[in-house]
Amino acid sequence: MDDHYFSAHPGSASTPRQICAVMRGRKIIFVTDSGVFSKRGLDYGTALLAEALHVPPAAHVLDLGCGYGPVGIAVALTVRNARVWLLDINPRAVQLAIHNARAAGVGDRVAVLQSDGTADLDPQLHFDVVALNPPIRAGKSEIWRLYREARDRLHGNGELYVVIQKKQGADSSEEYLRSLFADVSVVERSGGYRVLRCRMPFRGGNEKILSEELT
């Protein structure tokens, strides 16, 4: 994991490299770089998240904090007529995601945007599925904000999938997510990671109080 991969201004020198990963049954080549998350190879949590996603045909999917794009690109390659949006605050990650989507042949169904959370996304856009591997080093308040923003971008029957390690706060994340959603369940558990599926979002509620209790 690279320091400051969630930064809007990565300071490390560019050292691009190529990696290969098998995701959702497809072999995919990605270009990565210094200053982005998991540059040396696909991390276990991201791979687990990609496999756990249930994405119906023609779904609109948001990969929030996409890095160089592995989850969203894998979805675009394996789900018929899916439309995928990739967002990241890191401009280097955004350029890599654009390149990788085009190289994988899905550039026509993948939109990539630099954005702090969903701030710069069209406010009219809502999604059937949101995938999030939260930036743990950014701190709990930032992660909680991303959870709320993800909730607010779902259709009424949409689903948020979050992957997080137990030692990095899976219990507190699950508790906070239960203040945002009526249905939160663990759909995958492996290698110390959990993938949480969150459905039936509450609009408003007790999340502020709970956030203060968990801080």
Do residues 196 and 174 make contact, with C-beta atoms less than 8 angstroms apart?
yes
CA–CA dist 197, 23 (Å, integer): 19
Percent of the chain with pLDDT over 90: 81
pLDDT score for 138: 87
The radius of gyration computed from the CA coordinates of the chain, to the nearest angstrom, equals: 16
Query: How buried is residue 15: exposed, middle or buried, by Cβ count under 10 Å (0-12/13-18/19+)?
Result: exposed
Element (H, E) at 188: strand 181-190
CA–CA dist 53, 30 (Å, integer): 20
| pLDDT over 60 (residue 3) | no
Place of tokens 């770089």: 33
Which amino acid, 29? I
pLDDT tens string 44-91: 999 999 999 999 999 999 999 999 999 999 999 999 999 999 999 999
Torsion angles phi and psi, residue 81, rounded to 5: 60, 20
What are the tokens at 133? 């591997």
pLDDT score for 13: 85
Pairing of strands 181-190, 60-64: unpaired
CA–CA dist 10, 35 (Å, integer): 6
CA–CA dist 130, 123 (Å, integer): 15
pLDDT score for 215: 45
Sequence-ordered list of residues with C-beta below 8 angstroms from that of 66, at least 6 positions apart, any chain: 72, 86, 87, 88, 93, 97, 112
pLDDT tens string 185-213: 999 999 999 999 999 999 765 554 444 44
Do residues 132 and 150 make contact, with C-beta atoms less than 8 angstroms apart?
yes
| pLDDT over 50 (residue 105) | yes
Map out the domains of the chain with their CATH numbers.
43-214 (3.40.50.150)
Cα angle: 71, vertex 105, 29; to 5 degrees: 55
Query: How buried is residue 103: exposed, middle or buried, by Cβ count under 10 Å (0-12/13-18/19+)?
Result: middle
Which of 62, 98, 77, 81 lies closest to 21, judged by CA?
77
